[in-house]
Structure 1
Amino acid sequence: MKIENKIVVVTGASSGIGAAMAKAMSQSGAAQVVLLARNEDGLRKVAKEIEANGGKAHVYPVDLSDSAAVENMSQHIFNEVGVPDILINNAGSGRWKFLQNTGPEEISQMMALPYFTAAWITQLFLPEMIRRNTGHIVNISSVASRLAWPGATAYIAACRAMRGFSDALRADLYGTRIGVTHYESGPVDSPYWQNNPGSRERVPGIARLLVPVLTEAQVARGVVKGVSRNKHFIVVPMMLRVVYVLHRVFPWLVQWLMTRTGYRSAS
């Protein structure tokens, strides 16, 4: 889908990857960018940067884990901005922990962000996309959509849910002009690590050795390319694609390496 003159909604847009994608969409010609997250100050800062570069941004502070708040927010967007052409589901958080160290509330929260939120907001905007027979949905995830390692059980489960959501939604929309892109990457240099202490140390050694760390700008460029080219999947960096090929050919070997070089302590 062409990004020029489109309305783009980005969740989790107050900082990090979400903010970078919002700015990249504006720089790629989006007519209006709608920014969603809880942190109003962060959203306003991103909006100011977009507008300083000639773009137009709208700020909607909202708790994306609250389905009623999400529904109310969607009506404001319809009434005040219009029907989104592109939806980027990026909201998500959660520390990497062993299951026995993760409480029920934290497990629920990690599934709510990203999966429940992505499903709720997509369900709200999708009918108008279907009516117009045009649109594009991007679901942001990570290598955890396909690979597993010790000490990140709930996080990995939530990423698998996002992969399943992307595949199932694409099947639902077969025969329409609505695209679905699932984005997977290796580690990204972003505030995620500071917001989730202890997670960086749990990146398996083999991944640290083979897969380079991406910048937020690299992620944003990949998403722009994926939308513009109507890609079903985006996997970055290139080395991660190599790992995936190895996983298809030698699944036992890759899983052994991820487990063997992963974090060992369950305390």
Structure 2
Amino acid sequence: MTAKLVLITGASSGIGAATARRYGATGAHVLLLARNEERLDRVAEAVRKAGGTAASYPIDLADAAAVAEASARIAREAGIPDILINNAGAGRWLPIVDTSAEDARAMIEVPYLAAFNLTRAFLPKMLERRSGAIACITSPGSFIAWPNAAAYISARHALAGFTEALRSEAKGKGLSVTLVVLGMVESPYWEHNPGSRERAPKANPLLAPMLTPEDAAEAIFAGIEARKRTVVKPAVFRALFLLNALAPQLVARGLRRATPKSSA
């Protein structure tokens, strides 16, 4: 991994910051994208301490024009990433009736459109080079649904669909495309999206075991290195996804029963 160029979105805290440090430990040059410049600079310093190098690019990934501008700047200053990790995610778990149109749009803008726009900016050169890896980080909401999180789940389905379509277009062209599905991770996500943790189904496997950001980072790193199509952590979700494919009504009923009732 030495001297690899790795771009990570949502890199100012949680999963993104831990993934940046993990790649820093390999000697990679890590490009950090998120809104908060001060936090990005702290992560950049942690990457350097881990043995890598880093550059910060403060950006609102919901702004398509800003993504285009930052992508062009990165290409000029650092080059085309060897590894692109679409990790940025946002969105409160809310009942449909409590979700505004603005809320729903924001959840589509990040993660889905942020991943689409950033990938589209670098994809032509990656295809021309015929090498590289792209990963999209999502949650079990890409494959199953539970009450009181409709806009969140819809955005995760969109991200999973984008990843599958990207893989189809990149087939045989030297790129690996990985979808990383992570269970609940103990990170600042819950602070930024109040009420979401309380709306999680109160039953396994959605609540246990809780992952650390470092657990998530290792799963992302290992999956990309192995050029896997899909990474699922914890692995128990694979059984749930299979059961959902075979008996969707059974899984839906169980998730409904396990989800706290909405106060709406």
**TM-score above 0.5, yes or no:** yes
Matched, 1:162 2:162: no
Aligned to 2:15, which of 4, 17, 24? 17
Unaligned runs of 5+ in 1: none
Range 206-215 or range 9-18, more displaced: 206-215
- The residue aligned with 2:92 is 95
Is the partner of 2:146 in helix, strand or coil? coil
Q: Give TM-score, length-normalised by structure 1.
A: 0.96
- Tell me, in whole angstroms, the C-alpha distance in 2 between the residues paired with 1:175 and 1:49: 36
Equivalent pair of 1:170/1:179 in contact (CA under 8 Å): yes
Match of 1:121 in 2: 118
Q: Are 2:102 and 1:105 equivalent residues in the alignment?
A: yes
Matched, 1:190 2:187: yes
SS in structure 2 at match of 1:183: strand
Q: Deviations over 1:101-123 (max 9, x none)?
A: 11111110100000000000000
**Which one-letter code corresponds to 1:25 in the other structure?**
Y
Shift, 1:156, TM fit: 0.2
Map 1:79-94; keep pairs closer than 5 Å. 79-94=76-91
Which residue is 1:179 aligned to? 176
SS in 1 for 2:203: helix
Aligned length: 264
SS in 2 for 1:10: strand
Structure-2 separation of matches of 1:211 and 1:170: 30
| Residues in 2 aligned to 1:251 and 1:204: alpha-carbon distance in whole angstroms | 16
Deviation at 1:208, TM superposition (A): 5.8
Instruction: Name the Cα RMSD after superposition.
Output: 1.3
Change (3 A) 1:208 1:167: closer
Query: Retained in 2: the 8 A contact 1:86–1:137?
Result: yes
| Structure 2 unmatched ranges of 5 or more | none
Aligned residues: percent identity? 44
Classify 1:74/1:42 alpha carbon distance in 2 versus 1 (closer, same or farther; 3 Å). Answer: same
Aligned with residue 43 of structure 1, among 24, 35, 40: 40
For residues 53 and 234 of structure 2, the distance between their equivalents in structure 1, rounded to whole angstroms, comes to: 30
Mapped to 2, the partners of 1:266 and 1:28 lie a distance apart of 48
Deviates more, 1:7-16 or 1:252-261: 252-261
Q: Is the 8 A contact 1:211 1:239 kept in 2?
A: no
Counterpart check, 1:234 vs 2:234 = no
In the TM superposition, what whole-angstrom CA distance separates every residue of 1:50-79 from its partner, at most 9, and x where no partner exists? 112221000000111111111111111111
- 1:207, distance to aligned residue in structure 2 (A): 3.2
Summarize the Cα distance change of 1:249–1:211 in structure 2 as closer, same or farther, 3 Å threshold. Answer: farther
State the partner residue of 1:264. 261
Q: Residue in 1 aligned with 2:216?
A: 219
Instruction: Report Cα offsets for 1:155-210 as digits up to 9, x if no partner.
Output: 00000001100000000111111010001111111111111111001111223677
TM-score (norm 2): 0.97
Give the conservation status (yes or no) of the 8 Å contact 1:210–1:239: no
Query: Which residue type is aligned with residue 93 of structure 2?
Result: W
Contact kept in structure 2, 1:211 and 1:240, CA below 8 Å: no
Q: Which moved more, 1:201-210 or 1:130-139?
A: 201-210
Q: Is the 8 A contact 1:115 1:162 kept in 2?
A: yes
Q: Distance in 2 between matches of 1:108 and 1:33?
A: 29
Q: Secondary structure at the match of 1:33?
A: strand
